[in-house]
Amino acid sequence: MAEIILNVDVREGVGTGGARAVRRAGGVPGILYGGDKAPVAVSVNEKDFKKSLYTGKLLGHLVTLKYGDETQPVIAKDVQFDPVSDRPVHFDLMRVDEKGTIKIEVPVHFKNLEDAPFNRQGGSLEIVRHAVEVSVRADRIPEELVVDLMNHKMGDTIRISDIDLQGAEPTITDRDFVIATIKVSSAALSAAADEAADAETAPVATEEKSED
């Protein structure tokens, strides 16, 4: 089962007024939906919710929702934050079958950028996709898709087929789509242009003709 357990309460009041009441009481309002059941308004203690959120294993991962003696595998699909205080103000949970297949976005992370040879040669990593939607069993969702840049060189195009998807499958199946490209950076091009211009305008040394 999932590593994170959310102890929820079913809340009676819905709408803006009900959500505000939950927040005043130290909770975070949310909604549970999906499957063949009707949506249910729930709430979680804010302190406990933040603790789970800051592990980095809440959003996009399999979570165990607990209500009394009942448990339910869910996926945390979205968390909304207050733009001023950055406090969580609402969350969405989706019911799932932990052994069923779902579609979900998984973040793409790039490692060894600083040490990659192309970086020292003036190369620039241009990221096309920061996340990839995959089809995967709910209890086998990868935490991240990792691209090791150490062996990539200038001019390389990194495609989905270059990444270990850890048993997942991309939902885009009609092409080997691009994740990132490695190009000469604009700063390197500008420096090269400046060097060329300096070479063209540099004075040419001439020899003085000696008199016999």
CA distances from 164 to 81, 118, 160 (A): 32, 22, 9
Torsion, Cα of 137, 145, 75, 9 (10° steps): 140
Amino acid at 145: L
Q: What is the DSSP-derived secondary structure letter of residue 210?
A: P
3-class secondary structure, 174: coil
Amino acid sitting at position 52: S
Band (94; pLDDT cuts 50, 70, 90): very high
pLDDT tens digit string along 77-91? 899 999 999 999 999
DSSP of 98-127? TTSEEEEEEEEEEE-TTT-HHHHTTEEEEE
Distance of alpha carbon 185 from alpha carbon 149, whole angstroms? 16
Bridge partners of 46, per DSSP, are: none
Cα separations (Å) of 25 from 43, 91, 143? 10, 16, 33
Given a cut of 50, whether residue 129 has pLDDT beyond it is: yes
CA distances from 126 to 18, 95, 110, 113, 157 (A): 45, 36, 11, 12, 10
Residue 144, token pair as written in the block? 């991240």
What the block records as the tokens of 25 is 């009481």
Strands (DSSP E) found in 56-177: 62-67, 70-81, 88-95, 101-111, 123-127, 131-137, 145-148, 157-159, 169-170
- pLDDT band of 193, cuts 50, 70, 90: very low
Question: Tens digit of pLDDT for each residue in 26-44?
Answer: 999 999 998 888 899 999 9
Q: Taking a C-beta distance cutoff of 8 angstroms, is the pair 108, 131 a contact?
A: yes
Could you tell me the domains of the chain? 5-96 (2.40.240.10), 102-201 (2.170.120.20)
pLDDT-above-90 percentage for the chain: 57
pTM of the model: 0.72
Half-sphere exposure of 167 (CA within 13 A, CB side): 10
The full length of the chain comes to 212
